[in-house]
Chains A and B, each alone.
Chain A
Amino acid sequence: MLPSPTPARALAVLRGRRIAMIRFEHVTKVYDQKSKPALDGVSLDVDRGEFLFLVGASGSGKSTFIRLVLKEDRATRGAVYVAGQNVANIPSWRVPKLRRGIGVVFQDFRLLPNKSVFANVAFAMQVIGKSRAVIRETVPEVLKTVGLEGKNNRMPHELSGGEQQRVAIARAIVNKPGILLADEPTGNLDPTTSMGIMKVLDRINQNGTTVVMATHDDDIVNTMRKRVVELRDGSVVRDDAQGIYIGTTTAAAG
């Protein structure tokens, strides 16, 4: 481990101040000079341990937000901080380290079809060089957290959609990231199954992981009553502490 990346961060820790897990400062992302920016001057703080819904129509900038946090893309203007560190200043060889601190879940699960449930989750540990013993110990534990105990040896095609998403979540959190990004994780699932997934995500959040979930699903947002940030055409139009899917137009600070 390298020492704290910036003195500012070390100072903030010393003062006991809360540091934002994810911080966007006037972030603009332009993919193509001719079209509108995908994100347009977005400023946003997500605190440690927070649960945030990112809502908005397709093309409103939710996925761009996630890509910027992962440093899959570079912000055109503004700065993105993850755990106090400006991602623009992370050299490319350190990006894997950044990503180890972030779990990601997608709408289409992205499991490896030729690997069992156990192997899919173990894969995330193998590729970062965890020992066999640690893997054998950790994977069943995580599978239990997501409610898949006893399904170690199933293949992905033998599982329901909800179960497959649980495997994907297990894989995302097995390396104990501080942040979990979920890009429409319930987009392919029916409402009941979705609620099951939300319970899992909530439990992960209770354990201290910051969760950012991009979603269309109004039922879920309305039931969970968590912070809601609404994006429209790349701008934050609403930020409610305990919001619902379509809230009033007044924006309240988180």
Chain B
Amino acid sequence: MRFAFVLGEIASGMRRNLVMVVSVVLVTFISLTFVGAAGLLQLQIDQMKGYWYDRVQVAVFLCVENSTSESCASGPVTDEQRTAIEAKLKSPELSAYVDTVQYESQDQALVHFREQLANSPIVEAVTAEQLPESFRVGLVDPEKYEVISEAFSSQPGVDIVSDQREYLEEIFGYINIASLVALGIAVVMSVGAILLIATTIRLSAFSRRRETGIMRLVGASKAIIQLPFVLEGVIAAILGAAIASGTLWAVLRYGGQWLSREYPQMGFISTQELLLVVPALFLLGALLAGASSLLTLRRYLKV
């Protein structure tokens, strides 16, 4: 009976206050979408770290015809230099840091280059001679890049030592900024949502002051009087969270599909990751609405 009664009260309250309820739904939808986007971007970073840190290598590029660095002053790398470099990479001093060493010839470099830039017209113009041969060094601890860099940067025949992790860090930096921006928008929108929920509840309490006055007089408990208002806000917020989740799903499903077709090696997050984000969105929406309506009721609905 009580349950049915509270449901009935909620329904009638939401009907009377439909425009406000719709605006609460929309505002929470937008704010939670940005919260979710920020969360998903962080998950994307984690995913890429997990995927790439195992694969990133330090590349020791060897001198070619047109290298400009000092150690290449004597022209393209010679066979002795190459052998010395390889021996040094496999030496016992470095074995604590070096996990794997792989040689990439100029022809192999061209193949990789063509793979990576498949759609670019540059590919046709590049020949194997223009690309440097290299040693791809997998590190035991990717953070210890400095060791290799110091050991080889002045080695004859070595052009440059480059850490692929740097490129990744740069990408992560951009994603982080995007995620911070999303979070910033989310915070502003959430404040808007809280204020709007508070106003809605206030209006709702005002339009039903007759009912609540009578409920008070006949001795209805505080919970029964306040619950319909709180749930009204919570339901609206949960609707917003549902729409936000749907939007994020659609973005991941279709946007992610497109991205992973375009950049197959990037390791994009899939709709699986929503399983982590969606419950958080619902919880956050319900908390926002519940807290702001309880605070409002304390001021505007005497019990």
Chain A residues positioned under 8 Å from B224 (CB to CB): 127-129
Cross-chain contact A129 with B2 (CB below 8 angstroms): yes
Cross-chain contact A97 with B219 (CB below 8 angstroms): yes
A125 to B, closest residue via Cβ: B218
Selected contact of B218 from candidates A93, A124, A132, CB within 8 Å: A124
Given contacts A112-B210, A112-B211, A128 and B222 within 8 Å (CB-CB): no
Distance in Å: Cβ of A110 to nearest Cβ of chain B: 6
Selected contact of A132 from candidates B1, B215, B220, B225, CB within 8 Å: B1
Cross-chain contact A112 with B214 (CB below 8 angstroms): yes
Interface 1/0 per residue, B137-152 and A, CB below 8 Å: 0000000000000000
What is the bound-complex CA distance between A42 and B210, given in angstroms? Answer: 31
Give chain A interface residues in 126-140, CB to chain B under 8 Å: 126-132, 135
What is the bound-complex CA distance between A135 and B1, given in angstroms? Answer: 10
**Is A98 interfacial (CB 8 A cutoff)?**
yes
What is the bound-complex CA distance between A101 and B215, given in angstroms? Answer: 14
What is the bound-complex CA distance between A125 and B29, given in angstroms? Answer: 38
What is the bound-complex CA distance between A129 and B1, given in angstroms? Answer: 6
Give chain A interface residues in 142-199, CB to chain B under 8 Å: 171-172, 175
Selected contact of A126 from candidates B1, B213, B222, CB within 8 Å: B1
Selected contact of B219 from candidates A112, A132, A175, CB within 8 Å: A175
Given contacts A129-B1, A129-B2, A130-B1, A98 and B219 within 8 Å (CB-CB): yes
Cross-chain contact B214 with A99 (CB below 8 angstroms): no
Give chain B interface residues in 216-231, CB to chain A under 8 Å: 216-222, 224-225
What is the bound-complex CA distance between A130 and B225, given in angstroms? Answer: 15
**Is B5 interfacial (CB 8 A cutoff)?**
yes
Distance in Å: Cβ of B28 to nearest Cβ of chain A: 29
Cross-chain contact A104 with B217 (CB below 8 angstroms): yes
Number of interface residues of B (CB under 8 A): 17
**Is A247 interfacial (CB 8 A cutoff)?**
no
Chain A residues positioned under 8 Å from B216 (CB to CB): 96, 99
Cross-chain contact B1 with A123 (CB below 8 angstroms): no
Cross-chain contact A93 with B5 (CB below 8 angstroms): no
Selected contact of A128 from candidates B210, B213, B218, CB within 8 Å: B218
Cross-chain contact A126 with B5 (CB below 8 angstroms): yes
Question: Which of A70, A103, A126 has most chain B Cβ within 10 Å?
Answer: A126
Distance in Å: Cβ of A128 to nearest Cβ of chain B: 6
Cross-chain contact B214 with A131 (CB below 8 angstroms): no
Give chain A interface residues in 99-114, CB to chain B under 8 Å: 99-104, 110, 112
Chain B residues positioned under 8 Å from A102 (CB to CB): 219
Cross-chain contact A99 with B217 (CB below 8 angstroms): yes
Interface 1/0 per residue, B1-27 and A, CB below 8 Å: 110010000000000000000000000
Give chain B interface residues in 95-148, CB to chain A under 8 Å: none
What is the bound-complex CA distance between A221 and B224, given in angstroms? Answer: 39
What is the bound-complex CA distance between A38 and B242, given in angstroms? Answer: 54
B224 to A, closest residue via Cβ: A127
Chain B residues positioned under 8 Å from A98 (CB to CB): 219
Chain B residues positioned under 8 Å from A128 (CB to CB): 218-221, 224
Chain B residues positioned under 8 Å from A126 (CB to CB): 1-2, 5
Give chain A interface residues in 76-123, CB to chain B under 8 Å: 93, 96-104, 110, 112, 123
B210 to A, closest residue via Cβ: A112
Distance in Å: Cβ of A124 to nearest Cβ of chain B: 4
Chain A residues positioned under 8 Å from B211 (CB to CB): 112, 123
Distance in Å: Cβ of B181 to nearest Cβ of chain A: 46
What is the bound-complex CA distance between A135 and B5, given in angstroms? Answer: 13
Chain A residues positioned under 8 Å from B218 (CB to CB): 99-100, 103, 124, 127-128, 171-172, 175
Question: Which of B211, B215, B216, B217 has most chain A Cβ within 10 Å?
Answer: B217
Question: Which of A112, A123, A127 has most chain B Cβ within 10 Å?
Answer: A127
B8 to A, closest residue via Cβ: A126
Interface 1/0 per residue, B192-216 and A, CB below 8 Å: 0000000000000000001101111
Chain B residues positioned under 8 Å from A175 (CB to CB): 218-219
Chain B residues positioned under 8 Å from A110 (CB to CB): 210, 213-214
Selected contact of B5 from candidates A97, A100, A101, A127, CB within 8 Å: A127
Please list 10 pairs of residues, one from A and one from B, whose beta carbons are closer than 8 Å in the complex, sorted by A's number.
A96-B219, A100-B218, A103-B218, A112-B211, A123-B211, A124-B214, A127-B214, A127-B225, A132-B1, A171-B218
**Interface set of B (CB-CB < 8 Å, partner A):** 1-2, 5, 210-211, 213-222, 224-225
Q: Which 4 A-B pairs have the closest CB atoms?
A: A100-B219, A99-B219, A127-B220, A124-B218
Sample of 4 more A-B contacts, CB < 8 Å, known A97-B219, A110-B210, A112-B211 = A96-B219, A102-B219, A103-B218, A171-B214
